[in-house]
A and B are shown apart, each in its own frame.
Chain A
């Protein structure tokens, strides 16, 4: 079975500062993918970044980077230069080979609040 753990219910950061959102995972799959999604108050899930388990480089997408530490089974999201519009729920998720790479398993999320 796959499991995602997000231990930070809420995080606060000042505008323009960097913030790290924690994510650890558990899986017996050898091949899997890790995702981060943003969910604003409007409700839709917005894809941010993806990391494959065999990718040697940490994924980056603009101000988002994924700090992937395979041995520790962690996939933390780093947001640089926070903006007010980054205030939202953030979910870490994974898919694995044993589930046919089909369904996503999500964590419970972290609410990020960016203050001026």
Chain B
């Protein structure tokens, strides 16, 4: 399909484990966003890439969270030493340019930390 894809769709981790969440944006999309959606809440911004450059990481909740997009396409969100409060759905979105474009969202990765 031509949409944003994310993998895995579901991830269960034991507290303290490291996890890596993958996002494949729509081909050719310049901008890529990560959001965290806690249960019963709206998504909250984590970080933003324009091509391979991470221009805004103001929403990352701690230094345990790290995101990269080395070749300007696929992105990985890594969470080190997971904690229970990290349990959430992690949504990835992409948009065609860096201006006011519609963001297309992926289906999300539901992370559960036990």
Q: Footprint of B on A, CB under 8 Å?
A: 4, 33, 37, 42-47, 50, 52, 91, 93, 95, 99-109
Among residues of B, the one whose C-beta sits closest to the C-beta of A45 is B105
Give which listed residue, B41, B103, B104, B107, contacts A43 with CB less than 8 A.
Answer: B107
- Asked if B107 and A101 sit within 8 Å, CB to CB, the answer is no
- Asked if A33 and B100 sit within 8 Å, CB to CB, the answer is yes
- A106 proximity list for chain B (CB < 8 A): 42-44
The 5 A-B residue pairs whose C-beta atoms are closest, nearest first, are: A106-B42, A45-B105, A103-B45, A44-B107, A43-B108
- The interface size bin for chain B is 20 to 34
- B102 proximity list for chain A (CB < 8 A): 47, 50
Q: Confirm or deny: B59 has a beta carbon within 8 angstroms of a beta carbon on chain A.
A: yes
- B48 proximity list for chain A (CB < 8 A): 102-103
- B43 proximity list for chain A (CB < 8 A): 45, 91, 104, 106
- A103 proximity list for chain B (CB < 8 A): 33, 45, 48, 56, 59
Q: Footprint of A on B, CB under 8 Å?
A: 31, 33, 35, 40-45, 48, 55-56, 59, 89, 91, 93, 98-100, 102-108, 110
- A33 proximity list for chain B (CB < 8 A): 100
- Asked if A47 and B104 sit within 8 Å, CB to CB, the answer is yes
Among residues of B, the one whose C-beta sits closest to the C-beta of A102 is B48
- A42 proximity list for chain B (CB < 8 A): 107
Measured between alpha carbons, how far is A74 from B95 in the docked complex, in Å?
A: 25
A92 CB to closest chain B CB, in angstroms?
9
A112 CB to closest chain B CB, in angstroms?
15
- Asked if A102 and B42 sit within 8 Å, CB to CB, the answer is no
Measured between alpha carbons, how far is A45 from B106 in the docked complex, in Å?
A: 7
Give which listed residue, B33, B40, B42, B107, contacts A107 with CB less than 8 A.
Answer: B42
